[in-house]
Amino acid sequence: MQGADKGQAGRLDGHDLRVGIVQARFNDELTSRLAAVCIDELVKLGVAAKHIQHVTVPGALEVPVALQAMADSERFDALVALGCIIRGETYHFELVANESGAGVTRVSLDHHVPIANAILTVENLAQAEARIEEKGRDAARVAVEMANLLDDLLDDLL
């Protein structure tokens, strides 16, 4: 929910983190802006630009397989999924939204790597426009916070 009370964030220090971003090109004008906001926020949080790998795929259904390849490489502390699915007149919206979301979650759980899911699912262009800035920043912050949290948890357990 836009403008929701998100509570107090954990550690947002991106120094020494490597982050992979997979951006769906469908609705490219929107998703490119989403990516730009996310990358800008990652850099503000201390992630070195050279440690951000940004790739694009045709659409939201292709995002999970690219995330999986990145997770398989074991080179990333966190990943980010970016896309924009706008409801149309058919059931296709539900299929793409549900399957892309499930795929992103599966990759995260299977590989034990945090993935910030910022694949927007909206009713119309106006809703997408209203969410780009906040969701792009949120994706970066979630990726950094969760990478640090998992690192801290592993340190405590070992």
Tell me the catalytic residues.
92
CA-CA distance, 52 to 79, in Å (whole number)?
10
Q: Is 157 exposed, middle or buried (0-12, 13-18, 19+ CB in 10 A)?
A: exposed
- Kindly state the tokens that stand for 93: 């919206």
Q: Is 87 exposed, middle or buried (0-12, 13-18, 19+ CB in 10 A)?
A: middle
CA-CA distance, 137 to 33, in Å (whole number)?
11
CA-CA distance, 141 to 145, in Å (whole number)?
6
What is residue 19's three-state secondary structure?
strand
Only one residue has tokens 């699915």, namely 85
